[in-house]
């Protein structure tokens, strides 16, 4: 991904801000009220072909390509700033000034701010789950992504209150550090002009596509330079490009439009039961009294399930109830599994041993799990569940990993 252009911007002390800058800051409005446009399409002109007088020609296929992909289907390379974690080569940030500017965004865009306040972006640093993980494995690598408004040079764990409370805010995604220009996607509708705004607006197709999310949602392990073979710590954007929904942007699912055409900024995802339910096609059957068969396949989803966080997994559980405790329980886990691996240099890294998430692998990530009941229970009703879980830490034995939280994706009852 292209690196941010430092330009002539730099750290701006609050005392140095002139009256005109303060006036602009007080009116700063993130130009995303209309939201990123839906995928723009290019429909090539198709010349008619000669046919038999008695038979009409088959229509040529129409190529639909979003504006944020090039003619080869690759993501358009943006030659400008894109949002992402704090980097040492960024213009130095002033967390207090950025927090103040973000407050100006929220004062003008009340509905968007309300959405955002309930999102995972707003709690990217303050989230109890993240704080527990960070306490266990404190890294600058994590801090710069979860507190992107803090200076990249800040010591690990010394995040200031303005950056901690802001998390991933309006300015993080829309305002390049050291500038007041607001970046956004093209407006919906051809040649639709911008409404008057008290700040400069820059629009780019890249802000409507996965490029706008990639720097925070696809990256290698921080020890990638020590590895014999590259391995992505998160690969959501690559997964998206290989999916059946590659022509849709991240915003089409994670920033749905409301009745007024405004993009939601609540960013529903892995913690949203309704979205998880759409992401999987689940078929539970009982072909014989003692056999339970459950099929998991990708649904309306543009990446693997689960994606992102290494600590996420799916659990498939079947159970026969007893009087005081289950008479029978069987489970199967789907996710990425890791273990220690020696590199040619002699160092040990965390390496991927297996990946059987739904939506990955040569079989397109379609999984069929079969469970056999003990003969005495063949006539009993069987409860089944699909759970999306997040464990608190990696473990060599996934069954011993403590569960941080879980969402039920689907459940049912199978009778003989």
pLDDT at 50 over 80: no
Query: How far, in Å, CA of 121 to CA of 269, rounded?
Result: 11
Query: How far, in Å, CA of 347 to CA of 260, rounded?
Result: 55
Residue 115 is given by DSSP the state: H
Task: Please state the three-class secondary structure of 75-111 as a single string.
Answer: ECCCCCCCCCCCCCCCCCCCHHHHHHHHHHHHHHCHH
Asked if residues 385 and 411 have their Cβ atoms less than 8 Å apart, the reply is yes
Query: How far, in Å, CA of 210 to CA of 230, rounded?
Result: 21
pLDDT at 55 over 90: no
Q: What is the pLDDT of residue 395?
A: 77
Asked if residues 414 and 382 have their Cβ atoms less than 8 Å apart, the reply is yes
Mean pLDDT across the chain? 85
Q: What is the pLDDT of residue 8?
A: 39
Of 130, 181, 185, 123, give the one whose Cα is nearest residue 157.
Answer: 130
Average pLDDT over residues 244-272: 93
Beta strands in 143-248 (DSSP E): 182-184, 201-203, 218-220, 232-235
Q: Are strands 328-334 and 291-298 parallel, antiparallel or unpaired?
A: unpaired
Lowest mean pLDDT among 182-191, 278-287, 331-340: 182-191
pLDDT at 363 over 70: no
Query: How far, in Å, CA of 70 to CA of 314, rounded?
Result: 35
In sequence order, the β-bridge partners of residue 342 are 348
Q: What is the pLDDT of residue 196?
A: 79
Q: What is the pLDDT of residue 54?
A: 40
Q: What is the pLDDT of residue 59?
A: 54
pLDDT at 60 over 90: no
Identify the CATH class of 273-414. Answer: mainly beta
Element spanning 312, H or E:
strand 312-320
Asked if residues 277 and 409 have their Cβ atoms less than 8 Å apart, the reply is yes
Respond yes or no on whether the N-terminal peptide bond of residue 85 is cis (omega within 30° of 0): no
19's CB contacts (< 8 A; 6+ apart) are none
Q: What is the pLDDT of residue 362?
A: 62
Overall pTM > 0.85: no
In sequence order, the β-bridge partners of residue 292 are 371
Q: Exposed, middle or buried, 202 (CB in 10 Å: 0-12/13-18/19+)?
A: middle
Lowest mean pLDDT among 31-40, 80-89, 143-152: 31-40
Lookup: tokens for 304: 């693997």
Asked if residues 199 and 28 have their Cβ atoms less than 8 Å apart, the reply is yes
Q: What is the pLDDT of residue 187?
A: 85
Q: Are strands 312-320 and 218-220 parallel, antiparallel or unpaired?
A: unpaired
Q: Residue 276: pLDDT band by 50, 70, 90 thresholds?
A: very high
Query: How far, in Å, CA of 90 to CA of 88, rounded?
Result: 6
Output the furthest CA–CA distance in the chain (Å, rounded).
82
Q: Are strands 182-184 and 201-203 parallel, antiparallel or unpaired?
A: parallel
Average pLDDT over residues 28-36: 38
Q: Residue 188: pLDDT band by 50, 70, 90 thresholds?
A: confident
Asked if residues 316 and 332 have their Cβ atoms less than 8 Å apart, the reply is yes
Q: In the chain, where are the structural domains located?
A: 31-36+76-209+249-254, 273-414
Q: Residue 63: pLDDT band by 50, 70, 90 thresholds?
A: low
Query: How far, in Å, CA of 250 to CA of 248, rounded?
Result: 7
């Amino acid at each position: 991904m292209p690196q941010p252009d430092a330009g002539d911007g730099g750290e701006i002390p609050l005392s140095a801000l002139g009256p005109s800058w303060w006036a602009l800051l007080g009116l700063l409005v993130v130009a995303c009220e209309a939201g990123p446009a839906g995928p723009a399409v290019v429909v090539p002109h198709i010349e008619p072909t000669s046919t038999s007088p008695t038979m009409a020609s088959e229509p040529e296929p129409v190529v639909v390509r979003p504006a944020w992909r090039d003619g080869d289907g690759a993501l358009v390379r943006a030659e400008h700033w894109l949002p992402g974690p704090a980097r040492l080569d960024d213009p130095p940030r002033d967390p207090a000034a950025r927090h103040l500017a973000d407050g100006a965004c929220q004062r003008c865009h009340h509905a968007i701010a309300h959405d955002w306040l309930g999102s995972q972006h707003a709690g990217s640093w303050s989230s109890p789950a993240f704080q527990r993980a960070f306490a266990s494995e404190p890294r600058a690598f994590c801090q710069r992504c979860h507190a992107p408004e803090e200076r990249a040079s800040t010591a690990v764990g010394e995040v200031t209150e303005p950056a901690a409370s802001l998390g991933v805010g309006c300015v993080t995604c829309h305002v390049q550090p050291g500038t007041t220009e607001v970046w956004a996607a093209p407006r919906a509708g051809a040649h639709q002009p911008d409404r008057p705004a008290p700040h400069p607006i820059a629009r780019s197709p890249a802000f409507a596509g996965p490029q706008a999310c990639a720097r925070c949602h696809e990256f290698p392990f921080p020890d990638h330079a020590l590895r014999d073979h590259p391995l992505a710590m998160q690969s959501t954007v690559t997964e998206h490009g290989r999916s059946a929904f590659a022509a849709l942007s991240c915003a089409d699912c994670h920033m749905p439009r409301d009745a007024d055409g405004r993009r939601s900024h609540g960013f529903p995802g892995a913690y949203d039961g309704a979205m998880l339910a759409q992401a999987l096609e689940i078929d539970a059957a009982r072909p014989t009294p003692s056999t339970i068969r459950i099929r998991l396949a990708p649904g309306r989803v543009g990446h693997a399930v689960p994606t992102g966080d290494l600590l996420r997994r799916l659990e498939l559980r079947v159970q026969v109830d007893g009087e005081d405790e289950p008479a029978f329980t069987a489970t199967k886990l789907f996710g990425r599994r890791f273990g220690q691996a020696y590199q040619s240099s002699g160092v040990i890294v965390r390496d991927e041993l297996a990946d059987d998430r739904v939506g990955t692998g040569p079989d397109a990530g379609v999984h069929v799990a079969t469970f056999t009941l003990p003969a005495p229970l063949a006539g009993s009703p069987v409860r089944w569940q699909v759970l999306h879980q997040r464990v608190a830490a990696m473990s060599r034995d996934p069954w011993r990993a403590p569960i941080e939280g879980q969402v039920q994706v689907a459940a049912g009852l199978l009778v003989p």
